């Protein structure tokens, strides 16, 4: 519960223009998110790319949206899952050609 409250504070600070605070969310979730993506795609460089893209997409969403984000960790995972599935889908299509 405390962690989610802290994340809410970080989100409000980012929306107020303190972009450096996003680094705290990055540091907090980077390792576990990378491991999750790597498990999905089984390629280190692809996992790094997807993880980076995930953090960029979530930052864009936080800044551009006024919607209350109840659980930022779940948002990170949702974006990472979508991007991983997209990559795996394209890899299958390219292998079958």
Q: What is the pLDDT of residue 3?
A: 82
What is the tens place of the pLDDT at every residue in 25-48?
999 999 999 999 999 999 999 999
- Quick one: pLDDT band at residue 1, thresholds 50, 70, 90? low
pLDDT in tens, 44-86: 999 999 999 999 999 999 999 999 999 999 999 999 999 998 8
State the average pLDDT over residues 7-20. Answer: 94
* Helix, strand, coil percentages for the chain (3-state, nearest 5): 85, 0, 15
| Chain centre distance of CA 57 | 7
What's the burial of 80, exposed, middle or buried (CB within 10 Å: 0-12/13-18/19+)? buried
Residue ranges per domain, the chain? 2-95
Residue 90: count other Cβ atoms within 10 Å of its Cβ.
10
Given a contact cutoff of 8 angstroms between Cβ atoms, the answer to whether 84 and 37 are in contact is yes
Tell me which CATH code domain 2-95 carries. Answer: 1.10.1740.10
Per-residue pLDDT at 21:
95
């Amino acid at each position: 519960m405390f962690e989610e409250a802290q994340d809410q504070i970080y989100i409000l600070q980012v929306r107020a223009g303190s972009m450096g605070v996003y680094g705290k969310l990055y540091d907090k979730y980077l390792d576990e998110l990378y491991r999750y993506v790597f498990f999905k795609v089984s390629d280190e460089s692809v996992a790094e790319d997807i993880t980076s893209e995930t953090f960029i997409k979530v930052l864009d969403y936080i800044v551009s949206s006024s919607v209350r984000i109840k659980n930022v960790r779940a948002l990170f995972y949702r974006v990472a899952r979508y991007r991983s599935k997209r990559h795996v889908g394209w890899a299958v299509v390219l292998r079958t050609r």
